[in-house]
Structure 1
Amino acid sequence: MKTIIIYFAFLISSFAIGSMEAQETTAEKEQHTTDSIARVQKIKDERIRIATEEEKEKLKKEIQRINENLESGWYDKERAEKEKKEAAKLAAENIKNRIVIIENEVAMAERNKESGTYLEINLSKGKFNLDIDTPDKEERMVEKRTRNDFVLAFGFNNALESGQSINNSDFKLAGSRFFEIGWAWTTRVFENTNWLRVKYGLSFQLNGLKPTDNRYFVQDGDITRLEEFEYDLDKSKFRMDNLVVPIHFEIGPYANRYDKGRRKFSTEDQIKIGFGGYAGFNIGERQKLKFNDGDDQKRKDKSSFNTNEFVYGLSAYLSFGGTALYAKYDLNPIFASPNTELNNFSLGLRFDVD
């Protein structure tokens, strides 16, 4: 009897202990699940926060870029406001879409009961390198600051002594001409605006003078003067050839244009004002005479005529597009001392062809 009582007590104890262990295991599982859900929620919230901050930072940089373009004159106020609204809208859409992506990732992992789901989902997995792909990314590609042009100029030429007027000039107004050909480079001074440019290059100038009253130049030692020719002159022309380096500061409005996504500071169809000067060397002079002494004759004189070897002067132009009204004035006298100072000047058209 005693043995039966012992077995019965042992059986009851076993059932009691098993029941307690089962209850403890269930409680642990429930606590583990609760903790896992909390961790997932925390991670998801953190990923959403990071995604939101990333998009806000991109928006901040985009607004800063737009403001810089507004301050530099590249954007007007209307365009800046429009692009700010578009950037804000884009950032809001990106935040919304990234939150949906994060929530869908977590839901799919839970649904598929992925191994270690609650512990393996981490912050780095939720970081996306999404670029704000706006049209202005290409627009920010800026054309080179320096461009080059072919320069061609021609027009009327003349020379005056101090106190002399154009009306009593010693040279024909219509017959005296100049010609210039060269190459020029234009560099905008500032990075993000084009209101000021520097234009410089190399030019070959031909300045021609046709004396009035059947005269020509005669050199007598260091003195060069005009004298009447012994026969009737069909042609009397004195020419000076110069090789110079011109430098101009160019100002004027410009248009913001695009060419295959590249930002251009265009001066096409814009007024431009250039002012500056030139310096170089006289590389030759000659005089051509054509006259009738009973037998048509031509004569070329290539003496130095005591001209100044170093030439320098002032020049300016007023341009619309590629065509300009062009003027230049030699500060150096044509003939060296002790000759009377005679300064050459020109007025004509200039063409800059890119």
Structure 2
Amino acid sequence: MRNFIIYLAIFLCTLASKIAAQETVQTFEIKAKEIALKIEKITTEEKQALKELVEAVNLKLEKGTINKQQADDQKMKLATTSANNIESRLTLEEAKLTQLVKDKVEGKLAKSDTVSKHRRKSISIFYGDDPNKKDSIHKEKSERRTTSQFVFAAGFNNLVTNEQVAKSDFRYMGSHFYEWGMTYNTRILNASNLLHFKYGFSVMYNNLRPTQQRIFVENNNQTVLQASGIELKDSRFKNVNLVIPIHFELDFSKNKMKDDKPFFKSHDSFRIGLGGFAGVNLKSKQYIEFNDLSDNYVHQISKGNYNTNDFVYGLSTYIGYKATSLYLKYDLNPLFSDNTIKQNNVSLGLRFDFN
């Protein structure tokens, strides 16, 4: 399913390029896409390697060279090693992404990351019967109906429990989200700049920090908060999703005239977006920080299923001016699939659409 989402996102990007009728080289966007694909490749490689090693252990168990307890111990060590490998390799890619976004925001990249080759239409006008006496008028198609943006969003994150966020079990200021991705923006109407269709792919990071020194534990197919029994410096639960967002956008940017013809420029005024998203869960992790009995600092990372839904979908909306918007997204399906009490993720923050 994850590979399907990746391929579909790439297909949409390719389709948008054809709609725009241009050959485009997008330095910044290509770098971001390369990092996303590298993250997916790392996860796939490590999982495949772990699968092969586990199969080798199962083969030893079938031959009777090791017993079931020894097999379980070896599988646990292999899983721990694989998780550490994924974590260390992904940390490097996430650092690259963070630096890339920072360079973009600070304007360290080229002012324009896009080099476009537009189609030209040539019209020849002949004077008299002599074909050597001619004048050519070249009309260049300078307006693009489809444009692309790099999207970055960040803000507060929490869970809706019993249809409310009040009296939450999670810190309001400490729980946060951030998102990055690529979108394509296609103007729908021929003679109006008002209505646009936006689509692409995004990676969403939703973080929750429990209150009262608690951590998440799995108990009889239920994922619940439980007292840790120690003084924690930090406790954080992170859920990472790869999604395809789709929005219909009202762009109130005024039409401009260029060479006596209307010129449509997006993201130049107030904008309102309404839509949703659907995708898959990539990973769930719990981070715990504390000092042990010897007063040594301990940073513990636990990766597992945690009973989270493999498939995610929800609604999202934004309203803003030019590149900056107030952004709200809400998961329609609960975070934990089998919990008796349904808790849905909700996020509120700022969204930036960089042309």
TM-score normalized by the length of structure 1: 0.58
Tell me the residue number matched to 1:196: 195
Among the aligned pairs, what percent are the same residue? 42
What is the deviation of 1:216? Answer: 0.6
1:301 equivalenced with 2:302 (yes/no): yes
SS class of match (1:190):
coil
Structure with greater helix percent: 1
1:350 equivalenced with 2:344 (yes/no): no
CA contact under 8 A between 1:143 and 1:263: conserved in structure 2? no
CA contact under 8 A between 2:312 and 2:333: conserved in structure 1? yes
Q: Which runs of 5+ in 1 are unaligned?
A: 1-123, 126-130
CA contact under 8 A between 1:141 and 1:261: conserved in structure 2? no
Structure 1 residues 353 and 260: alpha-carbon distance in aligned structure 2, compared to 1, 3 A threshold: farther
Structure 1 residues 344 and 353: alpha-carbon distance in aligned structure 2, compared to 1, 3 A threshold: same
Tell me the residue number matched to 2:49: none
Give distance in 2, aligned partners of 1:268 and 1:279.
Answer: 25
Give distance in 2, aligned partners of 1:222 and 1:302.
Answer: 16
CA contact under 8 A between 2:187 and 2:193: conserved in structure 1? yes
CA contact under 8 A between 1:148 and 1:185: conserved in structure 2? yes
1:187 equivalenced with 2:186 (yes/no): yes
CA contact under 8 A between 1:143 and 1:262: conserved in structure 2? no
1:155-206: per-residue Cα shift (whole Å, max 9, x none)? 010112124x333001000000001000000001111211110111100000
Letter in 2 for 1:234: K
Tell me the residue number matched to 1:147: 147
CA contact under 8 A between 1:142 and 1:262: conserved in structure 2? no
Structure 1 residues 317 and 192: alpha-carbon distance in aligned structure 2, compared to 1, 3 A threshold: same
Calculate the aligned-residue CA RMSD, in Å: 2.6
Tell me the residue number matched to 1:240: 239
Give distance in 2, aligned partners of 1:174 and 1:275.
Answer: 26
CA contact under 8 A between 2:281 and 2:310: conserved in structure 1? yes
CA contact under 8 A between 1:154 and 1:348: conserved in structure 2? yes
SS class of match (2:179):
strand
Structure 1 residues 230 and 262: alpha-carbon distance in aligned structure 2, compared to 1, 3 A threshold: farther
Structure with greater strand percent: 2
Tell me the residue number matched to 2:165: 166
SS class of match (2:306):
coil
Tell me the residue number matched to 1:316: 317
Query: What does residue range 16-165 of structure 1 map to in structure 2 within 5 Å?
Result: 143-163=143-163, 165=164
Tell me the residue number matched to 1:8: none
Give distance in 2, aligned partners of 1:196 and 1:330.
Answer: 25
CA contact under 8 A between 2:235 and 2:287: conserved in structure 1? yes
CA contact under 8 A between 2:193 and 2:254: conserved in structure 1? no
Query: What does residue range 219-234 of structure 1 map to in structure 2 within 5 Å?
Result: 219-234=218-233
Tell me the residue number matched to 2:44: none
Give distance in 2, aligned partners of 1:318 and 1:227.
Answer: 38
CA contact under 8 A between 1:141 and 1:262: conserved in structure 2? no
Number of residues of Structure 1 aligned to a counterpart in Structure 2: 222
Tell me the residue number matched to 2:10: none
